[in-house]
Structure 1
Amino acid sequence: MVEFGDDSSLTGQDAVDGLVRLLDLEQIEQDVFRGDIIRSRRMRTFGGQVAGQALVAAGRTVPAERHVHSLHSYFVRPGDSTTPIVYEVDRVRDGRSFSTRRVVAVQHGETIFSLSASFQLAQEGIEHQSSMPDVPDPETLAPLAERYATTDAAAEFYRAMPKPIDLRYVDPPTWEQAELGPRPALTRVWLRADGVLPDDPLLHDCVLTFASDMTLLDSVLARHGIAPGVHEVAMASLDHAVWFERPFRADEWLLYSTKSPSASGGRGLATGRFFGRDGTQVASVVQEGMIRVRR
């Protein structure tokens, strides 16, 4: 069992090493892998963990020269944070340029998560991207631990975030803004692995996938002036998609800019873009989450 998260004081390189171990799945049969879990007081498994591990499982069945360019996933059932997860990979197709894989994550004999991922040989083509927002440098912003250190239970939800990721809010976190009411449906954070990662590109893709689930729905909450710990709100990821657009390192600063175009029916939609410090757009994300508020 990997011991980092809300029940552990591990930070920095020790926590990052724990994340690397978490993403190093055990192969128990042809195309079948077992993933460890994060020890947590919360019974529900962190969604980014399951998505990251599923991508590892898929990547282990693809030639090393083919890199993931997209994943699409559904969270089917809450994961049990006390039980390892089994990942079963279906080798859907290997073409001349692309490989497609399907993965199901299983606990207690039931599917809790499904993922489809596509891998591609490196190729040349046309290029364009969005402009990176103009934001302060990450070194000028307070680490997350400093932001919630002086707050009360309003920040408890965020204290439970996995510690391997150094997270720095450009815009005030939801719990700091909740009393001020609704604000633009926008959240921007700098993030990186809080230590040095090995050079394996698949590992960096999986760490970004892991981190991409951490603040995405904040933009939905901001639009309504809602924050866990301040309001009675139940949240869960429903589906999650990532497009990997350009090379990057997950242990170097990435700006994660997210916004919410819509919320309805007890669900909120959020989109996100990752940028390197040089302004290069490296990944795009879309997620729909369940958001139920008890007024």
Structure 2
Amino acid sequence: MTEAARHAASRLDTDVPEGGQPVLDQLVALLDLEKIEENIFRGVSPAHSPTRVFGGQVAGQALVAAGRTVPEERKVHSLHAYFIRGGDPSVPIVYEVDRIRDGRSFTTRRVIAVQHGKAIFSLSASFQTVEPGIEHADDMPDVPGPESLPTLPERTKEIADRVGAMVMPRPIDLRYVNDPPWVTRETGERSARNQVWMRADGVLPDEQLLHVCVLTYASDMTLLDSVLARHGVYWGLDQVLGASLDHALWFHRPFRADEWFLYDCASPTASGARGLANGRFFAADGTLIATVVQEGLLRVR
């Protein structure tokens, strides 16, 4: 861990900034893992974490661990992960990297995240040298631009005041295109899609792996909302017990995570106390940059 990152990480135990660049700097510090041995890294969680480690955090940190063992010219193009146990935010997470294969074009890594002597998360990631090929992509949905939409604090102020909750600052600037699920829950309008503009709330360094890991972090923030929105229930307002089970991401084209991207999510099915959601990330110019699929545990009482 760099000295600057170590200083930022130390603030996690003392400060909760109002938002913007200071909060984003804390996320960068979380993703700057400490190397404790060859192929072994250590990460921490913010002091103001909930009872479990946020899934996007452990996925982002695991991808950092994998990427630190791969030549810089090879870019990650996919990851597949399983959430095995809830993470304990009060203790560090140890990431053990297995160098599965280094081929002529592709590199494969497997990462196990360990706490209290047990695996809490596993990830497989594939990296590829950049090469030309055939090209096509879906078009971005026609939606209002992010600057015309209210911020998340503006969206949540009324309901936070009503239930007496405090909205914690986030490193991701998030703006709903359609009505958020806690609004449609009350209006009775069911939505088949959940569309959110996102970007890192500040300026990130130019390291491409960091931008990929920030998007990985953000990909777990609203995806399962698309499942709940179809049934008019929401976290904290109804008796919903949920957790990410598995997560897959494909990275199609280069991007910057501190520039606006649209997260277009939908849920094709839910059954057996599990909900499936898929999402597409589009850059502001309409370029399809990534695709995600996640299944989550969703027990609604």
TM-score interval, smaller chain:
over 0.9
Instruction: Sort the Cα spacing of 1:69 and 1:278 in 2 relative to 1 into closer, same or farther, 3 A.
Output: same
In 2, are the aligned partners of 1:182 and 1:224 still within 8 Å (CA)? no
Which string of whole-angstrom CA distances, capped at 9 and with x for unpartnered residues, describes residues 27-66 of structure 1?
Answer: 0000000012122252100000000000000000000000
Give the residue type in structure 1 aligned to 2:184. Answer: Q
Distance (whole Å) between structure 2 residues aligned to residue 154 and residue 183 of structure 1: 23
1:83-98 pair list within 5 angstroms: 83-98=91-106
C-alpha deviation, 1:3, in angstroms: 5.1
C-alpha deviation, 1:154, in angstroms: 7.4
Instruction: Sort the Cα spacing of 1:3 and 1:113 in 2 relative to 1 into closer, same or farther, 3 A.
Output: farther
C-alpha deviation, 1:156, in angstroms: 7.8
In 2, are the aligned partners of 1:185 and 1:221 still within 8 Å (CA)? no
In 1, are the aligned partners of 2:160 and 2:166 still within 8 Å (CA)? no
Q: For 1:67, which of 75, 92, 95 is the aligned residue? A: 75
Could you tell me the TM-score, scaled by structure 1's length?
Answer: 0.95
Give the residue type in structure 1 aligned to 2:170. Answer: K
Distance (whole Å) between structure 2 residues aligned to residue 101 and residue 38 of structure 1: 26
What residue number does 1:174 align with? 181
Distance (whole Å) between structure 1 residues aligned to residue 235 and residue 71 of structure 2: 42
C-alpha deviation, 1:228, in angstroms: 1.4
What residue number does 2:274 align with? 267
C-alpha deviation, 1:184, in angstroms: 2.3
What is the identity percentage for the equivalent residue pairs of Structure 1 and Structure 2?
63
In 2, are the aligned partners of 1:270 and 1:286 still within 8 Å (CA)? yes
Which string of whole-angstrom CA distances, capped at 9 and with x for unpartnered residues, describes residues 206-252 of structure 1?
Answer: 00000000000011011101111221101100000000000000000
What residue number does 1:99 align with? 107
What residue number does 2:261 align with? 254
C-alpha deviation, 1:158, in angstroms: 9.2
Instruction: Sort the Cα spacing of 1:127 and 1:109 in 2 relative to 1 into closer, same or farther, 3 A.
Output: same
Distance (whole Å) between structure 1 residues aligned to residue 215 and residue 37 of structure 2: 27
What residue number does 1:205 align with? 212
Give the residue type in structure 2 aligned to 1:167. Answer: L
C-alpha deviation, 1:81, in angstroms: 0.9
Instruction: Sort the Cα spacing of 1:2 and 1:137 in 2 relative to 1 into closer, same or farther, 3 A.
Output: farther
Which string of whole-angstrom CA distances, capped at 9 and with x for unpartnered residues, describes residues 161-206 of structure 1?
Answer: x610000000111111112235122100000000000000000000
What residue number does 1:219 align with? 226
> SS of the residue aligned with 1:14?
helix
What residue number does 2:198 align with? 191
Give the residue type in structure 1 aligned to 2:249. Answer: V
Instruction: Sort the Cα spacing of 1:155 and 1:20 in 2 relative to 1 into closer, same or farther, 3 A.
Output: farther
Distance (whole Å) between structure 2 residues aligned to residue 191 and residue 155 of structure 1: 26
Distance (whole Å) between structure 2 residues aligned to residue 114 and residue 244 of structure 1: 19
In 1, are the aligned partners of 2:173 and 2:199 still within 8 Å (CA)? yes
Distance (whole Å) between structure 1 residues aligned to residue 177 and residue 12 of structure 2: 25
Could you tell me the TM-score, scaled by structure 2's length?
Answer: 0.93
In 2, are the aligned partners of 1:167 and 1:192 still within 8 Å (CA)? yes
Which string of whole-angstrom CA distances, capped at 9 and with x for unpartnered residues, describes residues 49-101 of structure 1?
Answer: 00000000000000000000000000000000111100000000000000000
> SS of the residue aligned with 2:156?
helix
Instruction: Sort the Cα spacing of 1:98 and 1:29 in 2 relative to 1 into closer, same or farther, 3 A.
Output: same
Give the residue type in structure 2 aligned to 1:24. Answer: D
Which string of whole-angstrom CA distances, capped at 9 and with x for unpartnered residues, describes residues 229-281 of structure 1?
Answer: 22110110000000000000000000000000000000000000000011000
Please say if 1:22 is aligned against 2:30.
Answer: yes
For structure 1, list consecutive stretches of 5 or more residues without a partner in the other structure.
none
In 2, are the aligned partners of 1:154 and 1:227 still within 8 Å (CA)? no
Give the residue type in structure 2 aligned to 1:18. Answer: Q
Please tell me the root mean square deviation across aligned C-alpha atoms, in Å.
Answer: 1.8
Q: For 1:135, which of 120, 129, 143 is the aligned residue? A: 143
In 2, are the aligned partners of 1:154 and 1:228 still within 8 Å (CA)? no
For structure 2, list consecutive stretches of 5 or more residues without a partner in the other structure.
1-8
Instruction: Sort the Cα spacing of 1:226 and 1:154 in 2 relative to 1 into closer, same or farther, 3 A.
Output: farther
What residue number does 2:296 align with? 289
What residue number does 1:111 align with? 119
